[in-house]
Amino acid sequence: QVCAPAALGPGMLWAAAWGLLLLIAPAEAQRGRKKVVHVLEGESGSVVVQTAPGQVVSHRGGTIVLPCRYHYEAAAHGHDDVRLKWTKVVDPLAFADVFVALGPQHRAFGSYRGRAELQGDGPGDASLVLRNVTLQDYGRYECEVTNELEDDTGMVKLDLEGVVFPYHPRGGRYKLTFAEAQRACAEQDGILASAEQLHAAWREGLDWCNAGWLRDGSVQYPVSQPREPCGGAVSPGAGGSTSGGVRNYGYRHNAEERYDAFCFTSNLPGRVFFLKPLRPVPFAGAARACAARGAAVAKVGQLFAAWKLQLLDRCTAGWLADGSARYPIVNPRARCGGSRPGVRSLGFPDAARRLFGVYCYRAPGAPDPAPGGWGWGWAGGGGWAGGARDPAAWTPLRV
């Protein structure tokens, strides 16, 4: 912060401020980020930005206010001369434009168009209203208020309610580069989890003995039940017990090294349900079985979200869109995979293997062509989805 002595006249003040900008410009140009300079005229004329401490929390599809207020006292200038700018921190020294306002002129950028607007709750309110929140909205946002040479910034963190889940594709464990891990999470209705999200999941009991990529390029894995193959017997505590934690491999070469992924997903706008057809179906028949109910085969992230946020509990394995077979358990029982809640996995069975069901996802507003438990098959018997019969000849049958 640069303070101008009260004894300086207006001309000397502007000259001093301009000289300061000239001195800092070369260094800041190298970093690609403008230096924030405050020019204080005694106790007036300054811009002071206040944002909420900590973080604000929403969920996918929700509406959230990113709070930001500023205090500005200057008799010669009005609030219409103040520029408000919101950016998202995408890297430590990289920012993506979100929203800019100067007087009556407002503009949102990229995926924020049509979703972001100022709250406008009186003078000094720079809060941003964000509608239809997406997974990609998670992260830190900077609120910047500028008037000529005076500006100030505040930071707001947007967190999302959701669930972290480990993932690897059919090819096996430790097969994903960083970019491939990003794509894998997106294909399963998620994003790469952050270190903070993984740590929160560990505190809730997540235990996974395979290292995975996180969104910052680091590789970590959570251990809530310490054992020798998962980082060893670490830090003996009182009574000879061992402690768990999040094991950290640090930042890895994201184009050459291969690991699994830790993905994050949030609230579902639609519904996941288990479909039990008349006969077991191979993987090829799963999509047709769900389509007959106005749905698609559920993705892994959708099943995890339904388990965590909609309390889906089903002790029957079913096909998912990636070719894996899984089932969600909210209330653990002995015959359903052990004593801990979670989404059980049977791995990636042979696609020709016939399972007794499939997990489907129906988007909001999509009609159910067969309400009341109706499915599709052949009235004469012989064959089901994926069989040899012509699907055009299917007729409604009670499931």
pLDDT beyond 50 at 6:
no
The domains of the chain, with CATH numbers, are 47-160 (2.60.40.10), 162-226+244-265 (3.10.100.10), 267-362 (3.10.100.10)
Confidence of residue 370 (pLDDT cuts 50, 70, 90): low
Question: CA-CA distance, 271 to 98, in Å (whole number)?
Answer: 31
| Mean pLDDT for the stretch of residues 183-202 | 97
Q: Measured between alpha carbons, how far is 396 from 374 in angstroms, rounded to an integer?
A: 7
Q: Tokens 């094991």 identify what position?
A: 247
Query: Strands 64-66, 128-130: parallel, antiparallel or unpaired by DSSP?
Result: antiparallel
Statement: residue 64 has pLDDT above 50: yes
Q: What is the pLDDT of residue 396?
A: 40
Higher pLDDT, 35 or 78: 78
> Taking 80 as the threshold, does the pLDDT of residue 284 lie above it?
yes
> What's the rounded Cα separation, in Å, for the pair 326 and 320?
7
CB 306 within 8 A of CB 312: yes
Across the range 257-270, mean pLDDT stands at 96
pLDDT digit string (tens) for 313-349?
A: 999 999 999 999 999 999 999 899 888 999 999 999 9
pLDDT at 91: 83
Least confident segment among 159-168, 240-249, 345-354: 240-249
Does 304 have pLDDT greater than 80? yes
Using an 8 Å Cβ cutoff, are 145 and 127 in contact?
no
Query: What is the rounded average pLDDT for all residues in the chain?
Result: 81
Which residue from 16, 122, 124, 8 is spatially nearest to 68, judged by alpha carbons?
Answer: 124
Among the listed residues 79, 90, 97, 6, the one whose alpha carbon sits nearest the alpha carbon of residue 44: 6
- Pick the more confident residue, 31 or 312: 312
Q: In the prediction, which pLDDT does 39 show?
A: 31
- Within 8 A by CB and 6+ apart from 17, the residues are 2, 4, 37, 39, 149
Overall average pLDDT of the 33-47 stretch: 41
More confident: 361 or 5: 361
Question: How confident is the model over 94-100, as a mean pLDDT?
Answer: 96
User: Residue 224: what residue type?
Assistant: S
Q: How far apart are CA 320 and CA 360, in angstroms?
A: 8
Half-sphere exposure of 361 (CA within 13 A, CB side): 21
In the predicted model, is pLDDT for residue 87 greater than 80? Answer: yes
Residue-wise pLDDT for 123-157, tens only, equals: 889 999 999 999 999 999 999 999 877 889 999 99
> pLDDT above 70 covers what percent of the chain?
76
Q: Work out whether strand 150-160 and strand 83-91 pair parallel, antiparallel, or are unpaired.
A: unpaired
Determine which of 66-75, 117-126, 261-270 has the lowest per-residue pLDDT on average. 66-75
- The model's confidence at residue 354, banded by pLDDT at 50, 70 and 90, is confident
Most confident region among 73-87, 171-185, 217-231 by mean pLDDT: 171-185
Question: Which residues are within 8 A (CB) of 380 and not within 5 positions of it... i.e. 6 or more apart?
Answer: none
For the ranges 235-244, 315-324, 359-368, 372-381, which has the lowest average pLDDT?
372-381
Confidence of residue 385 (pLDDT cuts 50, 70, 90): very low
What pLDDT sits at residue 243? 76
The pLDDT, as a whole number, for residue 229 is: 82
Most confident residue range from 29-33, 201-205, 225-229:
201-205
DSSP-assigned letter for residue 170: T
Q: Which of 46-50, 331-335, 356-360 has the lowest mean pLDDT?
A: 46-50
Give the type of residue at 286: A
Torsion region of 206: left, alpha or beta (phi above 0 gives left; psi -120 to 50 gives alpha): beta
Residue 377 pLDDT exceeds 50: no
**Mean pLDDT for the stretch of residues 16-29:** 33
Average pLDDT value for residue range 18-30: 33
| DSSP H helical ranges for the chain | 10-31, 178-187, 195-203, 283-291, 300-309
For 7-23, what is the mean pLDDT? 36
Tokens of 62: 């929700």
Q: Token digits for 196?
A: 């903070």
Distance (Å, whole) CA 240 – CA 237: 6
